[in-house]
Amino acid sequence: MVSNTEKINLPVLQNWDCHVCGTCCKEYLVRLSDDEVEKIKSQNWDVNQDLGGYQPFRKTGLLRNKINLNHRPDGSCVFLGENNLCKIHGKFGLDAKPLPCQVFPYVLIPTGKEWSVGVRYACPSAAKNLGNSVLKQRDLIVDFKDKLIEREKFTITLAENKVKPMLSCSQETSWEIIFALRNKLSELVRNGKHDVAHSLRCCIALSNELKSTNLSKLDINQVIEFLDIFGKVSTSEVPVDAFAVPSPNWVGRVLFRQISALFTRKDHGPNRGIANKGRIALLKAAIQFAKGAGKVPKLNVWISDTTFEDIESRRCELDEESNELLRRYYLVKIESLQFFGASNFGIPFWEGLNILLLTFPIIIWTSLAQSSQDSMVDKIQRAISLVDDHFGFNKILGGLRQRYGFNILAQRNETEKLIAWYSRPCI
């Protein structure tokens, strides 16, 4: 049995408390374990008096064998009460809720014999950094981890450390090397002397150097030394001026728009876009995004009346607050290792890192698509929440077709070009 004392790495920069906005209870389907179904049944909810006439559960899946919490037609969970308060929590306390409801927005990631804790910026309070330091919630998070081990029966796999991390599809490595890479990437983002986009381009430069190196042949001290040297050499060659990086080519732009469409879609809840108009509307939107001309389809409620041409003509010079928000977002993702392996559809390290870095131009593009009346930091925060809602959770993004697209962008240096393009200041 894995003990309570095993190391757990918390995101030191992050604050969070629930501010009862109800977003998670309106947007997500909560899958239940058999025990959770029984627990809710034993709470004896009255369908008419307590749940407005809706059944508590909904079956999903091809075989109708998966049980979720039921939702009302407006997308909200049937247990969501007045003032966005959960009825289960109100009547029976936190422990009585299904585990996914308790854990959100934390993501618990098994990293060898340790655990890392990521945070989903899909939660607006997490994106805004509201509440107490996550460090103060250590005991609660350790409790979640133990419950998760029990619910998902992780014990044997973790204790024996059978799951080896992968650097690429063909290169297995050790957790020690993964931690050394994480520390170096985090250092590049944390200590960057220029804007966050430059720090992310430094991460790409380092990863380009290291992808062809077999780190597993070195001992851990040699790896750390190697990373120090290569970190300095590769990043010293990264131009500070975003105009010095070539513009993305048409392949990069087409793939980028298609990927952006997936990352900015809202298909559930009150902020959903044209998904409520059916599949034909979504198909037309996909064609429009591939063309990249004319009106931008409203894939979520925040996309304003704008055109693809209009967005490309605008520039987003990040103010200090927006820059620091983005820096915190990437630090939390990198330090928690929430971009590869178990928490990102089993995708290997380098591939997962490329997808994470690609979210930067998507976030900027999405903020440029919003109404110009809102403040920059509000638009960036909303864009991060939209994009992070999909990151590591939208199964389409973990599919072979999309991964092929991400890899083309990485191999042709289009990820770097897109980051530079969307961080170019006005001239």
Kindly list the residues in this chain that would bind ligand SF4 in the complex (CB under 6 A): 25, 30, 69, 77, 79-80, 86, 88-89, 97, 101
**The Cα angle at residue 389 between residues 121 and 144, in degrees rounded to 5:** 65
Shortest Cβ distance from residue 95 to ligand SF4 (Å)? 12
Which is closer to ligand SF4, CB of 104 or CB of 349?
104
> Please, what is the angle between helix 250-264 and helix 279-291, to 10°?
150
Shortest Cβ distance from residue 86 to ligand SF4 (Å)? 3
249: which 2 tokens?
A: 């080519």
What number of other Cβ atoms are within 10 A of residue 47's Cβ?
12
Which is closer to ligand SF4, CB of 80 or CB of 180?
80
82: which 2 tokens?
A: 């007045």
Shortest Cβ distance from residue 119 to ligand SF4 (Å)? 17
Shortest Cβ distance from residue 16 to ligand SF4 (Å)? 16
Shortest Cβ distance from residue 276 to ligand SF4 (Å)? 21
Decide: helix, strand or coil at residue 383.
Answer: helix
Alpha-carbon span 181 to 173, nearest angstrom: 11
Shortest Cβ distance from residue 83 to ligand SF4 (Å)? 12
Residues β-bridged to residue 60: 66
Which is closer to ligand SF4, CB of 147 or CB of 190?
147
User: Which stretches of 191-296 are DSSP H helices?
Assistant: 196-210, 220-236, 250-264, 279-291
182: which 2 tokens?
A: 């994480």
Decide: helix, strand or coil at residue 422.
Answer: coil
Q: Are 25 and 76 in contact (CB under 8 A)?
A: yes
What number of other Cβ atoms are within 10 A of residue 348's Cβ?
19
Shortest Cβ distance from residue 89 to ligand SF4 (Å)? 6
Shortest Cβ distance from residue 6 to ligand SF4 (Å)? 28
What is the DSSP track for 56-76? SEEEESTTS-EEEE-B-TTS-
Shortest Cβ distance from residue 39 to ligand SF4 (Å)? 11
Which is closer to ligand SF4, CB of 35 or CB of 319?
35
Alpha-carbon span 325 to 323, nearest angstrom: 5
279: which 2 tokens?
A: 């599949």
Which is closer to ligand SF4, CB of 25 or CB of 418?
25
Alpha-carbon span 363 to 180, nearest angstrom: 28
Shortest Cβ distance from residue 26 to ligand SF4 (Å)? 8
Instruction: Give yes or no for a cis peptide into 105 (omega within 30° of 0).
Output: yes
Which is closer to ligand SF4, CB of 97 or CB of 198?
97
Residues β-bridged to residue 86: 80
What is the DSSP track for 130-181? -SSBGGGGHHHHHHHHHHHHHHHT-HHHHHTT----EEETTEE--HHHHHHH
What number of other Cβ atoms are within 10 A of residue 141's Cβ?
18
